[in-house]
Structure 1
Amino acid sequence: MERTKEALAVGLLLIVATLGTLYAVQTFFVNPPAAPTPTVREVVPPEPAPAPVPAAPVAALTPATPLESEPLPAPTTPAKPAESAPPQLMVTPAPAQTAHPPSRPRSEAGTPATPAPAPTPLARGRQLTDQLYGGQLKQLWAAFLPALRAEWGSFSAFQAYRAGGLKAYGAETGVLKEEVAQDGGLTYYTRTSTFERGPRTGWTLIFGLDTQGRVREFGIVGAGLLPEAQHPATP
């Protein structure tokens, strides 16, 4: 009995499945699926181009009416500078100021500045010696008094004298003695020195100075030939 029931159930299921299949086939052929409706787009026609506007007729060119020139003003005589300048711009030249010489420097107390003291005879003699042996002959020649320059004759002769001594004996190498003495209103500066080419005893340079330090006498003698000073002076 159970097998019969199972067979009936299976048979019913087959019948139902067969009927469902037949119904589906009948439905497909009787009512086929509708085709998709095509979408219609609206075509907008292009806007027409604007019609060309006819150009206005060109008016005939007519010659321009010449402008009437204005009459030129009559030339006038230029005014004088004094008349044309406004009164407030007139410049009156100031009187020239008299130049005054610069005042001399004064000390703090209001008295004139004291001039620098003159060099001592020793310092002056050394200065003149440096000019002679240092080749500053023009400065030394300027210190000679006119009478002494006349004894030499010319500056060229004095230059030749110095050039001969330098060539024969060379430069000064040492100082043996310096003295300052007074005699006959002059102050004498003497300097005994050795030189590159002798003699061993050296040469003595002589400057006779006045009160202002100018050279009145000049000479170079062998050492020992000059007598000792009788009136030594304070350097």
Structure 2
Amino acid sequence: MKNALVTGASGAIGREISHMLASNGFQLYLHYNTNQTAAAKLQKELKDKYGVPVSMVCADLSKAGGSEDLWNQIQVPLDVFVYNSGSAHFGLLTDFTEKSITETMQLNLVSAISLTKAIVPSMIQKKSGKIIMITSVWGEVGAACETVYSAAKGGLNTFVKALSKELAPSHIQVNGISPGVITTPMMDQFTDEEKRSLADDIPAGRFGEPREVAHAVEFLMSEKADYISGHILSINGSWFT
């Protein structure tokens, strides 16, 4: 049985990715931070529906040492690693505290690098593995009032491209998925009018669904994508092309 780790598994996108992996027969290690209720519910759902082993691991990836805490709970060779953790602080750059800058960079970039560093040796040893980073459209084009988040996700995109070159000789593929607006609880902070206006700006005329991100992960982790590496797959309804 193959092993997969998904960070941020208790969120809307992480949940869909977890269901997809479970349906493909993976033994799962699912990370969460504060939402223990959602994590426990997801674990039960996956065990009941698919009958696969599911282990929940708790760690705060916005803190230094969080990735080490997470990896210490796993310590098994992985076949698929999906880094899906991320959170944005909204506001002008001048309003950011040093603490919020540090935590945003840690969660969205530094922990992804640190955790990958721990995972890679066993993949190199067996000459196979799929690493997929969930980034953001703002990592490609930048966003006012999300400058630090944009910088972190932009760094994550470049990390994907650089690491793919290091690991290609070991037959390991490293790719990123860059979602635009996806229907998640994060959108609840906007009014219905604001969401309608935003959807009107997207050529596809709607927001993406979490399952559509999971479909992209399913393709990139498959043998069909063995010659695709260092790629950032945009999922944004032609919002930015």
Q: Which has the higher helix share?
A: 2
Higher relative contact order (CA 8 A, sep 6+): 2
TM-score range, shorter chain: under 0.3
TM-score w.r.t. the length of structure 2 is 0.20
Quick check: which has more Rg, 1 or 2? 1
